[in-house]
Structure 1
């Protein structure tokens, strides 16, 4: 089933862009038949697209070019930007959202044929070699020997990213209202004291609750949340000044400093690095996977 969104929010995710298409994922062919150890392909959503919570019997690796992918896994939100991928173990329920026009790549790994697998969702470094190998494996004309050689190298070069960029959601009834409000509107500037007054609890209680649930203070958690959202906005072509204003910063320099504290580099340097990393060369024989709906 496919239905357009008017821009409403879904729990634990950013507010949807107007015109977002929400897709229910039916059990696809890959869940009943796995002729190879690795099955790879490509989708290009023409509009902002959200996939309802679902799971696979195969391990999944997703990555994007020309956009971002956000995925909700239980009490964590992952943001996948260029140069990185997200490993999703078999059986893990997850939802996702891709920006319009993003080149959305995915590869499925048969658990009984994989020499190893990550037990938890993990950010993966999408090196040019790894992307090229997975693109190569999306071809339909490879003989068994060529496919086996390529698959073995994939497992040699598949490694977690140094930065596991996930936003931990509190899951604490005392502060969940704060988290959901900020996910819906990261520009909300209410202070710790203002939230305490609204919720009828002390600011010390809020601070302790955030640290216990997320390992971060309220201010730090909001800062990380805003950087997650900034990655999507910047990948959509917004300039730093516009992103800064959208996220509620008083001036761009404050946003840049905040981004650097979280990501270790400026927004410009981060995306320049992603743009300069050569992606896999697309083979004209690559199958474009159909969007799987119920």
Structure 2
């Protein structure tokens, strides 16, 4: 497993965009600054102060200063990290959470990455940083988009589905495998995760499909990979959870609206 290096100390902010090979690891540590993590492609697993957050494309993890955290990616991952001094974070969350990124936030980060800006130095870049922080302050906050659990009967199910989101085994199949009743397993999902098994699995498939779409995979191929009987069934799920079809969400046309180019927080089922 390849160790992920520590980023540059913010003065008062720094940026890093890196391609990580599968099974890269940032070992557990504390840092005296805040951190925003955003996956352009792939999914990053983040553990912060005993909580597990997934960082798929179009969402970001927010890690407070001095929080004990570690990161790992199961597959190849292109990841943007923003390190921010506490002086800029008075109005930001003091607890770990997931932020829904606006198209403007993503555009600013993409601009810095394309110009290989790691520390802003020009007046123009400092102004962009002020806009970025204003946008982060108003970004919708969620405890976790895809909660997980280490509960003994749930962990094997969750780990298996994270490794293979297209696994079509039903809740009853998993219950039989674990030697519990379907009703018992269903109750544990609700109690530990706060979602039904079906709702959680659909969120997982949405997360997995975002990476596939970013990589240019066709909707037909994605629907097959995720275990759907038809592309229309996959599109229906995608639109219900994201508020837009895959084509709308990834449209690059100049007249695409914010709800077409980013996840609509209002459409995601409540935590």
CA distance in 2, matches of 1:269, 1:109: 33
Partner of 1:51: 25
Partner of 2:98: 122
CA distance in 2, matches of 1:52, 1:138: 19
Deviations 1:40-76 (A, max 9, x none): 3x434275573334443211123355x3442323443
Deviations 1:201-237 (A, max 9, x none): 1111011000111111111111111111111111111
Partner of 1:110: 85
Instruction: Tell me which moved more, 235-244 or 266-275.
Output: 266-275
Q: TM-score, normalised by structure 2?
A: 0.74
Partner of 2:44: 70
Partner of 1:287: none
2:131 is equivalent to residue 158 of structure 1 = no
2:146 is equivalent to residue 167 of structure 1 = yes
Partner of 1:245: 224
Which has the higher Rg, Structure 1 or Structure 2? 1
- Name the Cα RMSD after superposition: 3.4
Deviations 1:147-201 (A, max 9, x none): 7766544433323544746210132112221111111211211122222221111
Partner of 2:73: 97
CA distance in 2, matches of 1:198, 1:129: 44
Matched position secondary structure for 1:167: coil
Matched position secondary structure for 2:37: strand
- Runs of 4+ aligned residues of structure 1 deviating over 6 Å after TM superposition are none
Q: Give structure 2 stretches of 5+ with no counterpart.
A: 259-271
Asked if the contact 1:75–1:168 (Cα under 8 Å) also holds between the matched residues in 2, the reply is: no
Matched position secondary structure for 2:86: coil
Matched position secondary structure for 1:106: strand
Partner of 1:39: 14
2:150 is equivalent to residue 191 of structure 1 = no
Deviations 1:88-123 (A, max 9, x none): 222240314397584x43321112454333122331
State how many pairs are aligned: 247
Matched position secondary structure for 1:159: helix
Higher relative contact order (CA 8 A, sep 6+): 1
Asked if the contact 1:48–1:99 (Cα under 8 Å) also holds between the matched residues in 2, the reply is: yes
